[in-house]
């Protein structure tokens, strides 16, 4: 196969990295394949290259809409046809995207797992020649995974439609138990996994115990130069920390899921270009961000799992140069983490009440509601029913896992464009400014069916190919709408709730052990594992993380805070041993070597001290006796 030629042609690389080649050859040979690659390991190459070398389209299942859009835009910028389907798109938009894939020689179709339950999708997809199926973030299919999503179980329907096609599963975080479960859940014909070591030799893990996290953050930023990410657990804190850093003369931006796409783009660009040194963010930032020179990742709050921490910390030092992942830990964090279990897994009675109130909120009668979708305001709902926001949000997510609703936070409805005039009339328009024609030509080159129906467009991608700002494109499209040349519907963002079953009474909700009890217990275990990591001070940080992912007996890194502390204690112990030995020999008499046992030092340490003093010609060893050199 011409894998290396494709790699060079589209990405400009001469060689594959790590286990990329092995994974590509395995899926290229038609074998079900699981690839475990740490963050920054180049997962996308492992399915994009073999798909380009094979006839047909690759279906990519991923839960991350932002990453989905970024990858589609990136592929299109390389001249590769790709499309995406996700929650919030209109039926006409989905049909257009699917027909583009059927007739337009597309190579990649990205879909969210929730779309797999759509009859429209399942019917249309059978008309497409598919080469293989890729499942990104594959740990989501395992009930033992840290981010289990029931919708991933629907991938089995795709396998039923294409029984002879191989599946490529990819993840950056999976314990041995999850690795086995992923292959079982995806129906692998035979176990077949490839894994890279999770060890990051250039990444130094550090835990700092402090009750003044702001002061310690400033100290760290003063010691470690270069680009940085600071992670917090809530949106309000991102702004608070960002404002503090700016007040101290450090350029910073803050980022969370509640910001508009335009603001997100602007802040991300400021950080990537270096105008802002620090990005303060919730976990909404970082996935798919291609910035290799991040020198520092700081966690002000404790993540909820080792898996989440490892992914976020791994965004530092992707260029292979020295970088630091620092966790700040204070005494109050223990109480905060203890409350997190109850906040994320509220009592069942609370969840039943939230379900009833949600039905009242939309005046939903018993037996009604199936497939009804509504815009949703969490703050308005909580205000109306006097509920705490975080715990209510968790209840809605639990109802989603149970299959009663589909709750999607901050859903983005993509912008849509349709030409009102026909092709002939369009080309008769005169006097349009150059940037108008530039945008019109970009639309016509990159989107099909614009004269017959609305097509959803990606402003970020269009901005890249036209070099126009998103604001300028908005002005042009509004102007063209006013001129009756196009019909333009700008993007819109809001949470949505879809009732996936007929309404029942809250008292009739069924809590299965798999969805509630076992998940709650596993969440508690992950919180405990994270607490064990940050409070431990005897095992190398890197070795501790690697052991969690099944890599036993890893050598100590020698650079984390635990290793450095041990080294300092060893040096101090050695110095104390030298001083004790020299004090014993200070009388210049000949001493039997057995007298060293009175110094209460391990014989191995004492032997090292003896060799050093002999090499320095300070003492002389004569058989079983030692003395100072005169």
> Residue 609 sits in a domain of what CATH number?
1.10.10
**Does 358 share its domain with 250?**
no
On whether both 11 and 82 belong to a single domain, the answer is yes
Mean pLDDT of the chain, nearest integer: 87
Residue 209 lies in a domain: yes
The answer to whether residue 540 scores a pLDDT higher than 80 is yes
Q: Quick check: 15 pLDDT over 60?
A: yes
Do 345 and 324 lie in a common domain? no
Identify the H or E element spanning 499.
strand 492-499
Same domain, 32 and 140: yes
> Is the domain of 361 the same as that of 479?
no
157 and 272 co-located in one domain = no
297, 315 in Cβ contact below 8 A? yes
Query: Who wins on pLDDT, 504 or 118?
Result: 504
471 and 578 share a domain?
no
Q: Is 76 inside any structural domain? A: yes
Least confident range of 1-5, 207-211, 302-306, 359-363 = 1-5
CATH number for the domain spanning 341: value is 1.10.10.10
pLDDT tens digits along 579-606: 888 888 888 888 888 888 887 777 777 7
Q: Give the model's pLDDT for residue 143.
A: 63
Predicted local distance difference test score (pLDDT) of residue 435: 92
Are 70 and 167 found together in one domain? yes
Q: Is 555 within the bounds of a domain? A: no
Residue 517 lies in a domain: no
Same domain assignment for residues 477 and 502: no
**d(C-alpha 163, C-alpha 624), whole Å:** 78
Q: How confident is the model at residue 215 (pLDDT cuts 50, 70, 90)?
A: very high
Give CA–CA dist 627/227, Å, rounded: 56
Q: Assess whether pLDDT exceeds 60 at residue 146.
A: no
127 located within any domain: yes
pLDDT grade for 59, boundaries at 50, 70 and 90:
very high
Q: Is 428 helix (H, G, I), strand (E, B) or coil?
A: coil
The total domain count for the chain is: 5
Q: Note the pLDDT of residue 335.
A: 84
Distance CA 549, CA 553 (A): 12
Stronger pLDDT, 455 or 84, i.e. the higher one: 84
In a domain, 212, yes or no: yes
Do residues 81 and 158 share a domain?
yes
pLDDT above 80 (res 397): yes
Confidence of residue 203 (pLDDT cuts 50, 70, 90): very high
Q: Which of 66-70, 104-108, 381-385, 483-487 has the highest mean pLDDT?
A: 381-385
Residue 516 covered by a domain: no
Angle at CA 229, nearest 5°, toward 228 and 232?
A: 150
DSSP code of residue 404: S
Max avg pLDDT among 75-79, 293-297, 339-343: 293-297
Tell me whether residue 520 is in a domain.
Answer: no
Q: How many helices (H) and strands (E) does the chain have?
A: 24, 22
Measured CA to CA, the distance from residue 60 to residue 70 in angstroms comes to 13
Token match 């289990």: residue?
Answer: 148
Residue 31 and residue 166 in contact, taking contact as beta carbons nearer than 8 Å: yes
264 & 220 share domain = yes
Average pLDDT on 45-72 reads 88
- Give tens-digit pLDDT for 343-363: 999 999 999 999 999 999 999
Q: What local confidence, expressed as pLDDT, does residue 144 receive?
A: 62
Same domain, 157 and 136: yes
| Greatest extent of the chain over all pairs of C-alpha atoms, in Å | 110
Domain of residue 477 covers 415-490
CATH code (residue 309): 3.40.50.300
| Cα separation, 315 vs 289, whole angstroms | 9
CA distance 334 to 530: 11
């Amino acid at each position: 196969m011409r894998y290396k030629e494709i790699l060079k042609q589209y990405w400009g690389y001469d060689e594959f990295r790590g286990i990329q080649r092995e994974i590509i050859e395995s899926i290229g040979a038609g074998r079900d394949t699981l690839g475990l690659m740490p963050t920054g390991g180049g997962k996308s190459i492992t399915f994009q290259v073999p798909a380009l070398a094979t006839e047909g389209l690759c279906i990519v299942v991923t839960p991350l809409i932002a990453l989905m859009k970024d990858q589609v835009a990136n592929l299109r910028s390389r001249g590769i046809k790709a499309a995406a389907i996700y929650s919030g798109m209109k039926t006409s938009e989905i049909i257009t995207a699917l027909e583009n894939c059927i007739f337009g020689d597309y190579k990649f179709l990205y879909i969210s797992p929730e779309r797999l339950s759509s009859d429209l999708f399942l019917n249309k997809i059978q008309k497409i020649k598919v080469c293989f199926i890729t499942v990104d973030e594959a740990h989501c299919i395992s009930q033992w995974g840290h981010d289990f999503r029931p919708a991933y179980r629907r991938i089995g329907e795709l396998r039923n439609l294409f029984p002879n096609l191989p599946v490529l599963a990819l993840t950056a975080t999976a314990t041995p138990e999850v690795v086995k479960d992923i292959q079982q859940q995806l129906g692998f014909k035979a176990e077949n996994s490839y894994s890279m070591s999770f060890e990051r030799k250039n990444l130094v893990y550090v835990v700092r115990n402090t009750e003044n996290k702001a002061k310690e953050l400033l100290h760290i930023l003063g010691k470690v130069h270069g680009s940085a990410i600071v992670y917090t657990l809530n949106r309000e804190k991102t702004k608070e920390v960002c404002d503090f850093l700016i007040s101290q003369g450090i350029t910073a931006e803050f980022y969370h899921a509640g910001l508009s796409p335009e603001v997100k783009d602007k802040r991300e660009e400021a950080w990537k270009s270096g105008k802002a040194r620090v990005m303060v963010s919730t976990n909404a930032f970082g996935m798919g961000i291609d910035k290799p020179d991040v020198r520092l990742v700081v966690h002000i709050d404790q993540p909820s799992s080792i898996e989440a921490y490892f992914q976020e910390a791994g965004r530092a030092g992707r260029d292979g140069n020295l970088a630091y992942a620092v966790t700040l830990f204070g005494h109050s964090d223990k109480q905060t983490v203890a409350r997190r279990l109850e906040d994320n897994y509220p009592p069942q009675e609370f969840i039943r009440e939230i379900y009833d109130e949600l039905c009242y909120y939309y005046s939903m009668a018993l037996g009604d509601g199936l497939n009804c979708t509504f815009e949703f305001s969490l703050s308005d709902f909580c205000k109306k029913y006097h509920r705490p926001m975080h715990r209510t949000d968790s209840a809605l997510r639990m109802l989603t896992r149970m299959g009663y609703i589909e709750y999607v936070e901050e859903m983005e409805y993509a912008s849509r464009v349709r030409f009102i005039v026909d092709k002939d009339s369009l080309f008769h328009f005169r006097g349009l400014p150059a940037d108008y024609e530039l945008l019109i030509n970009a639309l016509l080159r990159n989107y099909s069916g614009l004269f017959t129906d609305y097509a959803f467009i990606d402003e970020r991608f269009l901005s890249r190919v036209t070099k126009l700002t998103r604001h300028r494109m908005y002005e042009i499209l509004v102007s063209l709408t006013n001129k009756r040349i196009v019909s333009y519907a700008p993007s819109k963002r809001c949470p949505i709730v879809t009732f996936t079953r007929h309404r029942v009474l809250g008292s009739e909700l069924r809590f299965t052990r798999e969805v509630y009890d076992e998940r709650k217990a596993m969440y508690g275990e992950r919180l405990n594992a994270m607490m064990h990591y940050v409070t431990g001070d005897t095992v190398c940080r890197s070795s501790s993380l690697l052991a969690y992912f099944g890599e036993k007996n890893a050598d100590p890194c020698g650079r984390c805070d635990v290793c450095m502390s041990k080294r300092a204690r060893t040096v101090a112990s050695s110095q104390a041993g030298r001083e004790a030995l020299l004090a014993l020999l200070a009388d210049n008499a000949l001493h039997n070597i057995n007298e060293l046992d009175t110094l209460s030092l391990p014989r191995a340490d004492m032997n090292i001290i003896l060799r050093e003093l002999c090499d320095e010609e300070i003492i002389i060893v004569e058989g079983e006796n030692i003395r100072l050199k005169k």
